Structure 1
Amino acid sequence: MQTKPPRLAAVVLVSSTACPRTDPPGASPRSTAPPAAPNLVAVPPDAGTAEDIAAVNARIQGVLGEPAKYAQTFASFQRAVAARDAKAVAALVAYPFTANIGGRRVKLPDGAAFVRHYDAIVTPAIAKVITRQRYADLFVNEQGVMFGQGEAWLHGIRKDAANFDVRVIAIQSAN
């Protein structure tokens, strides 16, 4: 019987900025782990090879900007869907949000409305696509970052002229 290798989380550098140690010269380090840095992004296990992840980050940077924001939202979205945490998913959505509920397109004004309709929006089939999506296999274009065959999309939403948040802009059946 074959055993599977242990699943390890990957940490991907999305910036070439160095992160120097903060221990004073001559002091023994507090930890053997590298210091935490804002330019390191944890991606889920089985996210893909470092080269494939770097290629996705390069596409995001070239088309959408700041891959760290996309990687963070990608991971948060996957975790929330896997946990069936309707409030956490709702917090990642851009509003107003249009959803297909009972065969009708319904505009949801806020997170409370999204939570009420969560099971109709994030069906088991859509949840499966979202939770199984590998970061390295994301499709990226000017419309955003696509899960599966279009079951979910992430895109940057402008907060002001210089800043944006990455939000879920669509969750839909690909059929």
Structure 2
Amino acid sequence: MGSSIHRTERLQEGRINIMMAARIVALIFAFFCLSQSAAWAQTAAQMDQTLDQLYGAHKPYHDFFNALQAAVKADNKTAVSKMISYPLQTMVGGKKVTLHDAAHFVASYDQIITAKVKSAVEHQTYETLFARDQGVMIGDGEVWFSGVGSSNTVLITGINQ
């Protein structure tokens, strides 16, 4: 009888230890998540440094971003059309299309630069851009831009509605 009581007590202690461990893991996980989300909040200097490390220079990307925001905000279709790397695959009228030149982009501008895309561009801040080796992302991937060609000219490489 005494050994079964000790076994029951050990089982209860084990359950308590497991519950405590689970709480500790949950707290560590919560702290990790909060600390990671805070890492997204950057300064302009940190974004400059990120772009310098990835692409060798931040100024062309910063200038491009500012010009793109201004052109989209003004609905300057011609200016935006000159900021695109052609051919560009995107959606127009619910269909995947390949745009080969600025004229086709301008003709389909309102179907490509939707309210969602426009809002993403207008509300994005330089400090919170997402940058990786394949390019710089605006919003949740609505627009991607990167250095293109041997001259590494910064252009839009993707638009996703």
Which of the five TM-score ranges fits, normalised by the shorter chain? 0.7 to 0.9
Any gaps of 5 or more consecutive residues in structure 2?
1-40
Q: Does residue 1:133 correspond to 2:121, yes or no?
A: no
Partners in 2 of 1:104 and 1:111 — Cα distance?
19
Give matches, 1:155-166, under 5 Å: 155-158=146-149, 160=150, 163-166=151-154
Q: How far did 1:148 drift? A: 0.7
Alignment RMSD: 1.3
Which has the higher Rg, Structure 1 or Structure 2?
A: 2
Aligned to 1:56: 47
Q: How many residues align?
A: 121
> Which consecutive aligned stretches of 4+ in structure 1 deviate over 4 angstroms post-superposition?
none
Partners in 1 of 2:101 and 2:52 — Cα distance?
29
Q: Does residue 1:167 correspond to 2:139, yes or no?
A: no
Aligned to 1:28: none
Partners in 2 of 1:123 and 1:86 — Cα distance?
12
Q: How far did 1:103 drift? A: 1.5
Identity %: 32
Amino acid at match of 1:170: G
Structure 1 length-normalised TM: 0.67
Partners in 2 of 1:55 and 1:115 — Cα distance?
35
Amino acid at match of 2:58: P
Query: Deviations along 1:11-61, whole A, 9 cap, x unmatched?
Result: xxxxxxxxxxxxxxxxxxxxxxxxxxxxxxxxxxxxxx9x71111111111
Partners in 1 of 2:142 and 2:148 — Cα distance?
19
Give the match's secondary structure for 1:94: coil
Give matches, 1:2-151, under 5 Å: 52-151=43-142
Partners in 2 of 1:77 and 1:69 — Cα distance?
12
Q: How far did 1:157 drift? A: 0.4
Aligned to 1:23: none
Higher share in strand: 1
